[in-house]
Structure 1
């Protein structure tokens, strides 16, 4: 599972960079984390991104509910642009998720 969090940071980017690094470290310490990176847009330096890859959606959701992530990462993640952030891998032959609400039944 791929998670893409984008941020608009018009000023104080050094402080944001440090906060985002701590958030990434907190997420990286959780079970199911595979890899991740922090980036900044080359054309618009106020646009930042944190991408992380997880073994599965459950690992990511459990990571978000951990105490350490709530303390270190959630305050930063709450500044992300309001857009969907969780993506499923699309490899050849992959059966894709359907748009059915998971809370039914």
Structure 2
């Protein structure tokens, strides 16, 4: 599973944002199921940043966000993210997006 989280950070907030992001990255790197994590700044629009992480599965990612340390360090950073979907998966592994307990439609 890939999680792409983007941020738009005004120039005057860059130093504080980087410190907050590095602290959150430190917490995430300690979590089970993390395969890789990249922190980057956009080359063309300097206010755009991303944290891109690869996880074993969605459960690993969700567990990484639980616990007091993640809730006090990682979640506040994520609250600054651009409001857009962040989770991606191999298209061969993604089925229909159904509510829990619902029955998938029958194929004709």
TM-score, normalization: structure 2? 0.86
Rg comparison, structure with higher value: 2
* Counterpart-to-counterpart distance in 1, 2:67 and 2:34: 13
Question: 1:97: which partner in 2?
Answer: 94
Question: 2:46: which partner in 1?
Answer: 45
Question: 1:60: which partner in 2?
Answer: 61
* Counterpart-to-counterpart distance in 2, 1:103 and 1:82: 24
* Counterpart-to-counterpart distance in 2, 1:89 and 1:24: 24
Question: 2:2: which partner in 1?
Answer: 2
* Counterpart-to-counterpart distance in 2, 1:41 and 1:29: 26
CA deviation digits over 1:41-96, x for unaligned, max 9?
01000000001111111000011112211111100011100100011135xxxx24
* Counterpart-to-counterpart distance in 1, 2:96 and 2:39: 29
* Counterpart-to-counterpart distance in 2, 1:59 and 1:89: 16
SS at match of 2:49: strand
* Counterpart-to-counterpart distance in 1, 2:54 and 2:65: 14
**Structure 2: 5+ residue stretches without partners:** 103-108
CA RMSD of aligned residues (A): 1.3
